[in-house]
Structure 1
Amino acid sequence: MSAQMNAARPPQGNENPEEPFIPDFSEGAETGLYLALFELLDEGLIITGDEIVLEANSAACRLLERDYRQIAGKPLCDLFPSERDFLDARARLFIQGEMRGSLRVALPGERHRDLRFVAAARIRPGIHALILSPDIIAEAYANAPFTDEPPADTVWPRLAAAVEQPVIVIDENERIAATNAAALEALGLKRGSIVGHALNACMEVEWPGVNASPVACLQVPGRAEAIHARVLPGPKPDWRLLILPPADQPKIASTGDSASAPISPETGDDAIERVFADSPLPTLLCEGPELGIFAANAAAARVYGYSRTALCGMRIGDLRVQPEDGRNPTESGIWQHRRKDGSVFDVDILAYPIESKSHPGAAVVMHDLPDAPLLAFETRLRQAVDLKQLEVHFQPLIDARDNSVRGGEALLRWHHPELGLIPFQRFAGVARDAGQLTRMGDWILQTACTEAATWNGAGQGVRVTVNIALEQITHGDLAARVRHALAASGLPARLLELDLDERVFCDDSARVVTTVAAIAEMGVQLAIDDFGRGLASIPRLKRYPVRALKLDPQLVREVGIRDDSDAIVEAISSMAGILGLDVLARGVETDAQQAFLSALGCHLQQGPLFGRPMTAEAFRAYLATK
């Protein structure tokens, strides 16, 4: 098979973690945990040191009548009407450890307001969390007689309800203060039989020992199997959170090496989506001994002349001239296939099994295009620039703090005569093998700068990001190309960002060093793309004029799911802050990812959550609405 089939390798899954399940919480980033969760609530959340406000959620900004930039990173005393009010609040909250009450805070225009608060336990040494509300929790407490019990806490039950992962909240008296529907389903219990009751009356719990892995063993009456739950610090002193595995995940019989591993997210039906995303070639997904087709991509529909729905009611044998010639039907090699109109063509089949939860024993059957396409694919790619078959799409870069558009990333697309619109990553390998990366890179650089000049001519002030391949530096005069693109388009250099592959910073050649320095001197911003794969070291970063790091999308996809990814993102953010670098996240898909990244200080984000790649015309219209 030729180079383009490199994109059709069988998907590889991650190694199963040693933990009995994959939690949605991070032990190493409690600040991020609480902030991400409280973005889902109406109460205001302030995370603060003794003197500085570290983070604030949207509700806190509304209560204090300020935007995020007027709160985060500012002195804590700025939130109070006077120094006396600040010192009084500081003593009550951080020295005396007052858990709930009322605070007088300053508002713009020399106004003030009394807010009720609930003070969470220290989430790290010297770091505290305050929950602010105009009328929840403390108002009832303030009006109650001195001898009354403190009012029921409504915040943490709502927090538990907002989380998808099964969670149980245990108070300081070993009573179950809150639980969510996911936990009730996992335990097979009713809410009334558990919430408000003593923990030991509902189940037997074996807590982890000192220095042991933070996993508790739960034995629920009526269940033969034990359930293992992750233990995290709770919202108040001596409170604890129990994070259970999802209801559809295998239950764990022991915490030793023999414990069953969870279903890896890489081996589920997401793999099916990756098959179609990774291959521009005709692709069929089959199952059973007769290889019944249960999925087909658009390329297969075009080649065979059937609709995708019609293909899904057929078998591989229905497409073959000789379905039974003594070979295994899934065997790779040359086969004769037939179109709907009866015409016959030879195909070079690549077949391999794929894991699917809903289609056990599934297989991929993929092949090249008919009529000598292996040579034609590369030949047509060489002609794509001259035939004006390339175009640029743009994906917005958003500042998650105020939802403003900070930039647009230029993404190459190829209008293939038979396959339709193909994203760059699907033909990148062929372009590299054909020696076309430098030429295509020059084209997209010039086109993107010209388009971005029209945005900023309308007063947008939005920068454009262009990805640069190592070949453009080593086999071309990139600095001269950049200078020409800026001059020809009229785009200010400060509004151009070039994203460089980490491999660039592993090349110590004089050409690379000189080129990168020359581009930076023009005022162009340089960023490292897909940072976090482990190639670029800190000493190397300090030698180059880099101003931003873009997180590897795989890391972004796993934040809040894998502890190691959480820790890596937090470490990168901390390192970047020390070096004065921006951190950008690509591939953000969910509100939870957005909130978690924001909590770690990564506010510049792009991905499907904010907008998918769009044509130049559509992107201009999108900017006009901002």
Structure 2
Amino acid sequence: MPRDPDEPFVPDLSEGAEAGLYLSLFELMNEGLIITSDETILEVNSAVCRLMERSYRDLAGQPLSTLFPSERAFLNARAALFIQGEMRGSLRVRLGGGRERDLAYVAAARIRPGVHAIILSPDPVTGLGAEAPRPADTVWPRLAAALDQPALVINGQDRIVAANAPARRRFAASDDPLTGRPLAQICRLSDPDREHGPVTVYPADDSPALHGRLLTGPEPGWRILLLSGTAPVAPVDARSSRAFRHAPMPMLVVRAADGRIVAANDAAATVHGHARQSLLQMHLDALREDAPAGEPLRGGLWRLRGADGAFVAKTQVQPLDGGHDEWLVIHDAPSHPWPTHPAGIGRHLAGSAHAVLITDAEHRVVSANSAFEQLSGHAESTLLGEPLDAIATSRHDADLFDTMRTALSEQGHWQGELWLRSPSGEACPEWIAFNTVRDAGGRTIAHIGLFSDLSVRQQAEARAEYLANHDALTGLPNQRFIEARFDEALVSAQRQRQHLALVCMDIDGFRATNERFGANAGDLVLQQLAGRLRHSSTRAQIARTGSDQFCALLSGIDLISEVDREVEHIRDAFAQPFAIDGEAHGITACLGVAIFPGDGQDFASLWREAGNAMRNARLEGPGSCHFHTAELNAASLERMALESALASAVERDAVRVHFQPVTDASTGALLGAEALLRWAHPDLGLLKPSQFMSIAESSGLDCVIGFEVVRLACQHAAEWHQAHITVPVAINATANMLAHDHLVEQISAAITQSGLPADTVELNVPVQCLLAPADALTRHLFALDSLGVRIAVTGLGAQALPLQHMLDIPVHSVKLDRSLVRDCLQEGRARLTRATLAVADSLGLRTQAVGVESQAQAEALMALGCTRHQGHLYGAPLPPDEFAQLLS
């Protein structure tokens, strides 16, 4: 079935099979696509990650409010996008790292109830006012391909620049693409100069006319024409028809250019009290009491002058002979004098400050005052004779109007929320109270509706709700809000088998700060701290719960060990001094942590245990952190000890490099080696990166350690090269290393000092670093490529595939993530593996599987065309001397 042109011009992503197709399409685009519910981000493409400088995991599944720098910005954006229905504008969003940026959105639409699509432009925001040009939007032509109704993109010269398949089937032969042809060759529009809105479309092949709708196009001056499958009322040859002359209904033919009557039938002459020949000399306005000046003819209820006085009649208007030069006007004969309601209700309420709409007993509009015209944007003349549901948006189903009619009939009154559609197509919420008017005999003669602008009411309610849930000083949510968010997060955590954590914070000695510097200075400190806490962790929802107390709700926690890392991010908010009276002063806080489900199953129990843990932390001294779980307290102390020892690992020559073979699975030949970090801890022995790298990254030590790994790997590989055994070596890089100002300098120095050929060095770049790559990363990779260093993208299958960025940087190979390799024997994961390898092959990239542990995995990967393997099936990581023996 063709789509209703009033429905959002966005493909329906609600069906799983289609969702994958469209998301794949959007992965190849520069525009950012966000699929979201009213509260939660459901899906994003790679462009969103790039624009917002945040990872896929930091966005998908997170609260929608995390996109915005404040709760107020979130509420304003939600009102603009989901309540007011704005299609274009700009949003102030929060980027990774806490910075803020304005992004333009070029489309926003409801996909289905409670699910919305937002399309972000990659172009800078340069002004979206009335006089500013609309940003170039290449989204709509691509989406038109998904429609099952004909869609044409027309440029400023009225030539077709794009046509979807239904349009080609309707207007062209199978081998005719339509593009480049003038629109006039295939159809004519009733209003050729119209930029947007409904039009009648007359095909050039003389087939029946069609309803059409014009939308703003992707470039200035361009338009998109959508066609429905229904035809307007077929035109008739009125003047040459005997049926016209003797028809019982009054009929007139009016010239469009000047409104003159050029034909009239006998019934019209009788009803209007003029000879038929006299009517031919008259202007149509002479027969109307409500003729709007300068407006095109429209059907509806007209107030007409007749032989026996004024009367109201339902009127139809349609073009003759497929054109708009002449119009056929048909109206009912008078059955009762105007007005139909007692005491001139319409005249009495015409000057009312309230918006008033009056309908007849059949719920058709018979009057609207000027206040309603101003509120709705509709002129009264365009509403007459229309049912109320004709001017409401499609968000209301028939049940609402059935309920309204039943209540008015049985109870005599009804009130509720009604979304009206403005002439421009925008939706505006109104509150309406309808009452029934009956005559002395109890017969219904009218319904009076009083409207009020619900957007003002909703804004006031939203403001009241905001103040009830937020702290006025800092703008942070309060305990009531965080408790509600906990209930939402609990459902998700139970479904995904994740952990939640509550972190209670109490500032040390804040009363003394207030007494020393004054309450105003104390308020400024709280505001500074609120800003830092808000951006301390993407997993944290921060709240102010007391004068000097705060709380953080951590969600999306897969492993309990991750809580300690997130708590460290929160503690970092207190690490930097605060500005008080122009001077820097340090502030500390005691933290207490409780974790779901181990420490409690609901908010009340976790809140209690986190508070107890915080009080225990106060006993340990200022700046202390205490976990309710004893094991985590031990882990926290262990983390601090590891960080202290790690700081001197390079100086103590405790950094080691082991090498794992990379093998051709089809021949068994050695193809290269993967350099893997190890830390020789003085007490704990040889540690793997999984045991300490998260600490290194959060403390900033990963760059020092990583560059030492580069130096050692090049040194050992050079020794083998000098022994006439050249083995390509792959070295891992962290996100901090890739962003380091001296990355290229450090790698170049290691290669030069060792004497190793640069083309035998491969740098592993994690795929998540490409989701939102900085300019520095791109420069670094091109510089390394010019040195001869090979670039490999690792972790494919664990993140969304950033195809566009992989085309923009010098990539030589890709490596499948060990999670994908582990599950490659499962049917669903096998399809993903096959698709990933196919994409890599189409881009001309070499592929390698990481973490191959079994012969079955190896055979499955070889069957898919991936023969370059690394994993324990082919050999464990070895110290340099043992790996040298393997080479010999």
Structure with more relative contact order (C-alpha pairs < 8 Å, separation 6 or more): 1
Q: Is TM more than 0.5 here?
A: no
Q: TM-score, normalised by structure 2?
A: 0.30
Whose radius of gyration is greater, 1 or 2?
Answer: 2
